Amino acid sequence: MKISRPNAQEPTPEELQELEKLKGMIEQAIEDGKLTGSEFESIKDAIAADKKVTLEELQLVRKLIDDKIESGELERIWD
């Protein structure tokens, strides 16, 4: 399914910088092949810090966390 966002704007340089920080944070959290509840909470807090959640942030979480959990590359640890 194709999702259309006709009013979407390209991320600002500041938003791109925040996305890179978020990506680094996620990569560090999952480098051992496990994601703990506290690591996931820290990631969610980082996303919510600016009081908005962007599509790009959600796509990053889906790509780096959800897809890897689904494929078995990443284990979710409930602590």
2: left (phi over 0), alpha (psi -120 to 50) or beta: beta
The CA-CA-CA angle for residues 33, 78, 71, to 5°, reads 40
The confidence score (pLDDT) of residue 78 equals 83
Give the residue numbers spanning the domain of 47: 13-77
Does 66 map to a domain? yes
Number of folded domains in the chain? 1
Does 62 map to a domain? yes
Does 4 map to a domain? no
Does 41 map to a domain? yes
The confidence score (pLDDT) of residue 23 equals 98
Does 8 map to a domain? no
The confidence score (pLDDT) of residue 79 equals 75
- Low-confidence residues of the chain: pLDDT under 70: 1-7
Q: Rounded to whole angstroms, how far apart are CA atoms 34 and 77?
A: 7
**Which residue in this structure is represented by tokens 């959990």?**
69
Share of the chain above pLDDT 70, in %: 91
List, for residues 18-32, the tens digit of each pLDDT value.
999 999 999 999 999
The confidence score (pLDDT) of residue 61 equals 96
